[in-house]
A and B are shown apart, each in its own frame.
Chain A
Amino acid sequence: MSLLVVENLRVTYFRDGVPLPALRGVTFSLSAGESLGLAGESGSGKSTLAVAPLRLLPDNARLSADRLVFDGRDLMAASPRDLRALRGGAVGTVFQDPFSSLNPVLTVGDQIEEVLEFHAGGRDRGRVLALLERVRLSEPAALYGAYPHQLSGGQRQRVCLAMAIAARPKLLIADEPTTALDVTAQRGILDLLDELRRDLKMALLLVTHNVGLLVERTDRLAVLYAGEIVELGPTREVLTNPAHPYTQGLLRSLPRLSRVEPRLPALPGQPPDPRRLPSGCAFRERCAQAFARCAVDPVLRPVTGRPVAVACHLHGGAA
């Protein structure tokens, strides 16, 4: 059974009454214990997708979905109280920037203990120390009373992870958890994520703009473009044999050590302005293989004979 079912999820932000669509009908599901990578460039809607299932959106956002179900519970019908119980409870979230997502005036121990208080039966210093150890931080007793500014970025992100897993969630959502960190710290955090996911049997939704990070780390990969999933399949399959022209372009533009190039091939053009999306396929204006049918919105559908689904008229024959 699926742990998380998302069907036709739409989120639109309104700025001065002007609608800015961030997600335009996203459909996917996630099984218990499975990990799904969400890749896309800035503005593709990936950070919105990370927080939308728990409906943690700013006041100027409107959300709709045909189905939004977590662990058998309909999130579209859930009360604010139910949603609050899920946030930090059955669904843990790690945010992008560990430098700003911890409160500077509260101690590390206090902030972790608070999550226990709300979701795991009460304050308990011993469990906080165990959690700090669980995220591989040395000297938990010293860290307990430390303030965030006394910690390095990697340490802070580990603290955020400890908060996210404090209530033993079934699903962990990580929104670019390593973007703000240096490369060595990145690796440590990703390895820790892997380890925690396996040990705690959590499902993982890992959002990133760095496709390279997802290799070997997620079961499936979804590529997001202009608020839609354009390709979805087993990570290895998508990365080695990309079906969508956008995925192909994205992968071609990754630097490789085995190949010396004077200049990296880049995708032509800019991501579309959410206020003026082209009709039909959102990628068609940048696509070298665009043809007449692209003026019709493509649907995400399985590619014959392969485990991937793609939203492109080049695949799938007759509509």
Chain B
Amino acid sequence: MSCPRYRPFRYHLCQRAGVLSLGLFLVAWELIPHLSEQTAYFVAPPSTVLRTFWELARTGELLQHVSISFARAIGGLVLAAFVGVPLGVLLGGWFPLFERAVNPVLRLLGEINPFSLFPLFMIFFGIGETSKCAMIFWVSLWPILFNTMTGVRGVDPAYVKTARSMGAGLGTLLLRVVLPGASPLILNGLKIGAGTSFFMLIAAEMIGASAGLGWLVWNAQITYQIPKLFAATVAISVLGLLLNGFFTLIERRALSWRDAG
């Protein structure tokens, strides 16, 4: 029979400290509206926010907005991955001179502030779904492309030469050497791209949409429904946190060989 290992009280405190800080924050937040008339007007306490959240979830409204937002984000992101990764592999691995020539253009394009492109995207694609998807595609393309290029360039040439000297074809080389070698950076690019795309999605939906989480925030603001505003903000934050956690998990799963080696 194994006896439970003794741990000092401080250890348990430290383990749970993080949750405790969230709890304390919630308590403080709950108290803020009671401070004065004015703050009560502006700040919805977490209990009210939770009730509003539950209400939104129960009526199915929340699910609808979340799924619309996610569909947009995933559509743009998948498209960006399908363009960015192959392009990055080509530029980084096969055409180094061409890559040097186009790199400044790509950097400049990547440097352009996406918000300043909003009007242009609206001019080109209208105010419908296309312009939002194009926006998300644009912002998530650059991190994916640049990270893939850096990753492919960073693959040890000795591996490539070894594989070639053993008569590996192009496909084998690509699938067995180049892509695994570049995968840490490709995944990193996807993670950054996903984060940025989610961020921009909310912005795009706040500027022009009729559904989605960003629209929910915007609508709550102009109709002055403060609890709904806070509930939507919390929902967006939690979703962002989950998205980040999801990609970190994938990274750890997919790259488990890296630590073992």
A binds B: no
Which residues of B come within 8 Å of A, CB atoms?
Answer: none
Which residues of A come within 8 Å of B, CB atoms?
Answer: none
